[in-house]
Amino acid sequence: MPLRDHPLPQASAPLAISKGIARALHALVLTLALLPPGALAQAPADADPATAPLSATPPVAPAAMLALRYDDTVDPVGYWVSEKLDGVRALWDGQRLRFRSGREMVAPAWFVAALPAHALDGELWLGRRRFDELSGLIRREDPQDPGWRAVRYMLFDMPGAGDFSARLQALRERVASAGVPWLQMVPQQRVPDRAALKRLLDDTIAAGGEGLMLHRADAHWQPGRSAALLKLTPWLDAEARVVGYVPGKGRLQGKVGALRVEAADGRRFRIGSGLSDAIRANPPALGALVTYRYRELTPAGMPRFPRYLRERTLP
């Protein structure tokens, strides 16, 4: 059955009843054709809805420092510089390892046993270009999975008193005291000028890295976004929600040619670049949140050359 390009219908658009029914039917056919396997699984016939468990209280997101984008007006001399790791942000509160959303991670007991009672901030990491492998491991929520033996908790900050240079020294002491290979520090260095920063970025990208992070050396820890923490990458990235599909043509006949997505501010556009054949055959479901990269915004405010990166599947 041929697939039609149908975004989600706009509730405010006046439509005749017949046209509304036709659009709804087309959207339904498209959705059913591209739903991931098992998405329509039904509850057992004898299930008692009255006994269904109530939704758990949403976790509270822990306080965390978040990055602004670096621009060339910033002098990097006053910053510590490190590689931007392609990992999963993990915040340790002294007892539990949590996602940025606040949800607790399922990690092996031996992995967290070596962590100190003090709060830590870092990323779980397997290595460059291994995010999908790491994401799959974490989503399985199996603390017995042998894959955890290759995971490292790469630390880049320790919430508390003192400027960043002082916190780095405290981190070094914590890591040395723990004495386990899976607890490490993200290497930090200083650069003398913008030209040196650019060379470091180029070398990092050439080696398979994502970019650089800059922590202002004299900045005290503070939650939220500020100039105390900056991100430098050769591209921009953002998230958007899937609202429809564009059918493929030629070799992609019967598969998705592009995703129709909507940004948080309501802008709608297509993402076709970066989709593998496997993703085109089994795309993110309607409503899924996806991450994409782009070079810049057009004068109309649309991302130029958006490229699919991944579906956001972790909290």
Instruction: Calculate mean pLDDT across residues 77-99.
Output: 96
Domain ranges of the chain: 17-37+236-311, 65-232
Please determine, for residue 139, whether its predicted confidence score (pLDDT) is greater than 60.
yes
Positive or negative: CA dihedral 138, 142, 143, 147: negative
In the chain, % of residues over pLDDT 70: 82
Predicted confidence (pLDDT) per residue in 170-223, tens digit: 999 999 999 999 999 999 999 999 999 999 999 999 999 999 999 999 999 999
Report pLDDT for 295: 83
Q: How many CB atoms lie within 10 A of CB 252?
A: 17
Amino acid identity of 111? F
Predicted confidence (pLDDT) per residue in 14-65, tens digit: 444 454 554 554 455 455 545 444 444 444 444 443 344 444 577 888 999 9
Report pLDDT for 178: 94
Catalytic one of 19, 84, 231, 249:
84
Statement: 65-232 belongs to CATH 3.30.470.30 = yes
Q: Which residues pair with 186 in a beta bridge?
A: none
Would you say how long the chain is, in residues?
A: 315
Statement: 17-37+236-311 belongs to CATH 3.40.50.1820 = no
84 among known catalytic residues: yes
Q: Spell out where the chain has E strands.
A: 65-69, 79-83, 88-92, 97-98, 120-125, 152-157, 183-185, 212-216, 224-232, 236-247, 256-262, 268-271, 289-294, 296-297, 303-304, 307-311
Please determine, for residue 66, whether its predicted confidence score (pLDDT) is greater than 90.
yes
Predicted confidence (pLDDT) per residue in 230-275, tens digit: 999 998 889 999 999 999 999 999 999 999 999 999 999 999 999 9
Report pLDDT for 28: 58
Tokens representing 158 are 């320790």
Tokens representing 294 are 């782009």
- Give the residue, 115 or 49, on which the prediction is more confident: 115
Tokens representing 157 are 């900050």
